[in-house]
Amino acid sequence: MNINNAQESNCKSVAFLTLGCKVNSYETEAMQKIFEDAGYRIVDFNQHSDVYVVNTCTVTNIADRKSRQMLHKARKMNEDAIVVAVGCYVQTAEKILEQDEAIDIVIGNNKKKDIIRILDEYYKVNKNNTADKKSDLSEYNVNADDSDNNSEQDKIQSFTNTLKDNVIDIASETEYEDLSIESVSEKTRAYIKIQDGCNQFCSYCIIPYARGRVRSREEKSIIKEVENLVSKGYKEIVLTGIHLSSYGVDLEKKNLLLELIVNLSKIDGLKRIRLGSLEPRIITEEFAETLSKDTKICPHFHLSLQSGSDATLKRMNRKYTAQEYYEKCLLLRKYFINPAITTDIIVGFPGETEEEFTCTENFLRKVSFAQMHIFKYSIRKGTAAERMPNQVRDEIKTDRSNVLIELEEGMAKEYQSLFLGKIENILIEETITVDGLTYQIGHNERYLKLAVSSDKDLTNQMIQGKVSGYLNKDIMFCEIMD
Residues 259-302: tens digit of each pLDDT = 999 999 999 999 999 999 999 999 999 999 999 999 999 999 99
- Reference 55, options 14, 11, 8, 95; nearest CA is 14
Residue 132: band (very low, low, confident or very high) from pLDDT cuts 50, 70, 90: very low
pLDDT value for 151: 56
Residue 131: pLDDT over 50: no
- CA dist 326 and 305 (Å) reads 10
- Mean pLDDT on 304-316: 99
- Reference 87, options 14, 151, 20; nearest CA is 20
What whole-number percentage of the chain has pLDDT above 90? 83
- Reference 59, options 278, 205, 242; nearest CA is 205
pLDDT value for 139: 36
Residue 166: band (very low, low, confident or very high) from pLDDT cuts 50, 70, 90: confident
- Mean pLDDT on 310-335: 99
Residue 118: band (very low, low, confident or very high) from pLDDT cuts 50, 70, 90: very high
Q: Is the pTM of this model over 0.85?
A: yes
- Mean pLDDT on 165-173: 76
Residues 6+ apart with CB under 8 A from 380: 59, 60, 61, 204, 205, 206, 386
- Reference 338, options 421, 445, 420, 418; nearest CA is 418
H/E element, 448: none
**Is 6-168 in CATH node 2.60.40.10?**
no
Residues 6+ apart with CB under 8 A from 134: 98, 100, 101, 103, 104, 163
Residues 6+ apart with CB under 8 A from 307: 313, 316, 318, 322, 345, 346, 349, 352, 356, 360
pLDDT value for 412: 98
For 433-446, how does the pLDDT look when each residue is reduced to its tens digit (9 = 90+)?
Answer: 988 999 999 999 99
pLDDT value for 98: 87
User: In the chain, what is the straight-line distance between the N-terminal and C-terminal CA atoms, in Å?
Assistant: 59
pLDDT value for 187: 83
Residue 136: band (very low, low, confident or very high) from pLDDT cuts 50, 70, 90: very low
280, 173, 98, 160: CA torsion to nearest 10: 170
Chain mean pLDDT for the chain: 91
Candidate from 42-56, 194-208, 249-263 with smallest mean pLDDT: 249-263
CATH number of the structural domain 172-417: 3.80.30.20
Which DSSP string do the residues of 380-396 spell out, in sequence order? -TTSGGGG-SSPPPHHH
- Reference 477, options 416, 406, 408; nearest CA is 416
Residue 255: band (very low, low, confident or very high) from pLDDT cuts 50, 70, 90: confident
pLDDT value for 167: 76
Domain boundaries, the chain: 6-168, 172-417, 423-480
Is residue 61 within 8 A of residue 92, CB to CB? The reply is no
- CA dist 225 and 232 (Å) reads 11
Is residue 41 within 8 A of residue 28, CB to CB? The reply is no
pLDDT value for 9: 45
358 to 309, 343, 372: CA distances (angstroms): 9, 18, 16
pLDDT value for 145: 45
Q: How far is CA 398 from the centre of its chain?
A: 26
Is residue 457 within 8 A of residue 413, CB to CB? The reply is no
Instruction: Name the pairing type of β-strands 51-56 and 13-18.
Output: parallel
